[in-house]
Structure 1
Amino acid sequence: MDALPATIAAPVEYRLEVKRSVFLAHLAPAVSVDEADAVVAARRKEHWDARHHCTALILGPHADRQRSNDDGEPAGTAGAPMLEVLRHREVTDVVAVVTRWFGGTLLGAGGLVRAYGSAVSGALDAATWVDRVHLTRVTADAPHAEAGRVLAYLHTWADTHRAVLDEPEYGSVARLSLRVPPELVATLRADIAALTGGAVRAVEGETVVFDRPRAQEHVSGMPAGCGTMAP
């Protein structure tokens, strides 16, 4: 299956100063144009004293809905570079708003492009990312006498195979289930059979898109939330 673009878990901000102009980037999750527009409206209201509120958004599971706005900056110097950063970083269901307070010195077209793009890039570096992946549900019904041992094994298996372990369901038997990358379903079935001598059988279910928080990595040399660009 084709890889899906990622998204972010929560709103994030990043402040950049260039020749006394301040660029405050705000990124927020959004799954519709209405949600994105509400974020933009809130930023305009909160920072009413700023000269520009430039925007870019990408929506849809396959990032197929895209839009940007320069909000009074020279054409192509704000919204377009912001959108290009979102595209390059392969993120979707996100809206970016960069609010600018003019510092008295003109930056030129190239300076604006760099500043707006860098502000969005810095916010993405500070964000908590969520990977969207295809995972297949696999269930296994285990006798209560075996459930503890099987569950402990599945905890370890999930950690080492980037799978997600669901909460067990207890009835006449213990129903254990995992969300597994499709290419590893056969491996899991074989491992459960080997563990239990064939007494517990794993059953493959549906494959769905699942949001999985990404392990955090150090991606920027600057502390999250601040930054300075050389003139």
Structure 2
Amino acid sequence: MPLTLAAPVQSELIIKKSRFIGCVQPMADRAGAQKVVAELWAQHPGARHVCWALLAGGQSAAVDDGEPSGTAGRPMLEVLRHQDLEGVLATVVRYFGGVKLGAGGLVRAYTDAVAQALLQAEKVPIVRLQTLACVVPYALEGLLRRELEAAGATLLAVEHAEAVRLNFSLPEDDAPRLLSRLNETGQGRLQWVEDVAQP
């Protein structure tokens, strides 16, 4: 099961007078990642590089930001992949200390900065939610609410009209079991709504 991070975590390494400030944090997409990188440049105007890697499905990216090609972004991305993470941004701000590290030294430095931050990070499973909607007679509203609560579903919206429409979400893996149970207890009086947009 893929994991993401509960909160941002930072680490700092000094290697041959160069300072590497690593950070890992939950991140859904490339636009959010680019915003964080812009903020890091604002916070660290004296830095030489802000390299980053994003592991987020089709939004993934690896950026060397002026370091020799393949020595920063790609190795950082591999650290995230190796830990089965998803929806995670790794950034490393580098202040150059005057001593060149060489390609192997750079790969190690960027990899270590991310790995050190990940050692302190709390990893949490990614739970994919499914949103459903149904319409029931008023007489079944209480029963349906109890079933949803028992299943750990989150009630998103309720609309009272000729009947009662309830929109709710729950973990994808639990949905088939709840649907089966609701169909059974509703005895044919429960209607599923195809379009689950909020009423």
Query: Cα distance 1:171–1:195, how it changes in 2: closer, same or farther (>3 A)?
Result: same
- Greater shift, 113-122 or 125-134, is seen at 125-134
Structure 2 alignment gaps of length 5 or more: none
State the TM-score, normalized to the length of structure 2: 0.68
CA–CA separation in structure 1 for the residues paired with 2:102 and 2:189 = 68
Deviation, structure 1 residue 48: 1.3
Change (3 A) 1:63 1:117: farther
Q: How does 1:43-192 map to 2 (within 5 A)?
A: 43-58=40-55, 62-63=57-58, 66-72=61-67, 74-88=68-82, 89-92=84-87, 95-102=89-96, 109-121=103-115, 122=117, 126=121, 131=126, 133=128, 135=130, 137-143=132-138, 145-157=139-151, 159=152, 163-179=153-169, 185-192=175-182
Q: Secondary structure at the match of 1:205?
A: coil
Aligned to 1:195: 185
Distance 1:51 1:8, change over 3 A: same
What does residue 213 of structure 1 align with? none
Structure 1, unaligned stretches of length 5 or more? 209-231
Structure 2 Cα separation of the partners of residues 204 and 181 of structure 1 = 18
Following superposition, the deviation at residue 139 of structure 1 comes to 1.5
Q: Give the Cα separation in 1 of the matches to 2:38 and 2:120.
A: 24
Match for residue 20 of structure 2? 23
Alpha carbons of structure 1 residues 191 and 78: separation in structure 2 relative to 1, 3 Å: same
Query: How many pairs are equivalent?
Result: 193
Partner SS, residue 157 of structure 2: coil
State the 1:137 CA deviation.
Answer: 1.9
SS across alignment from 1:100:
strand
Tell me which amino acid in the other structure corresponds to 1:201.
L
Give the TM-score of the pair, scaled to structure 1.
0.60
Q: CA RMSD in A?
A: 4.0
* Closer/same/farther in 2, CA of residues 47 and 123 from structure 1, 3 Å limit: farther
Distance of 2:85 and 2:58 partners within structure 1: 8
**1:205 maps onto 2:194 in alignment:** yes
- The aligned amino acid for 1:16 is E
| Residues 79/172 of structure 1: CA separation in 2 closer, same or farther (3 Å cut) | same
Kept in 1, the 8 Å contact 2:131–2:167? The answer is: no
Q: Which amino acid aligns with 2:44?
A: H
- Go from structure 1 to structure 2 and tell me whether the alpha carbon gap of 1:205 and 1:28 turns closer, same or farther (over 3 Å shift): same
Distance 1:68 1:194, change over 3 A: same
Quick one: distance in 2 between partners of 1:82 and 1:91? 13
Q: Which amino acid aligns with 2:29?
A: V
Whole-Å separation in 1 of the counterparts to 2:30 and 2:98: 36
Which residue is 1:211 aligned to?
none
Structure 2 CA distance for aligned equivalents of residues 112 and 71 of structure 1: 12
Paired with 1:188 and 1:204, the residues of 2 have a C-alpha distance of 15
The residue type paired with residue 178 of structure 1 is F
TM-aligned CA deviation for residue 147 of structure 1: 1.8
Q: CA deviation at 1:206?
A: 5.6
Q: Is the 8 A contact 1:52 1:101 kept in 2?
A: yes
SS state at 1:166 partner? strand
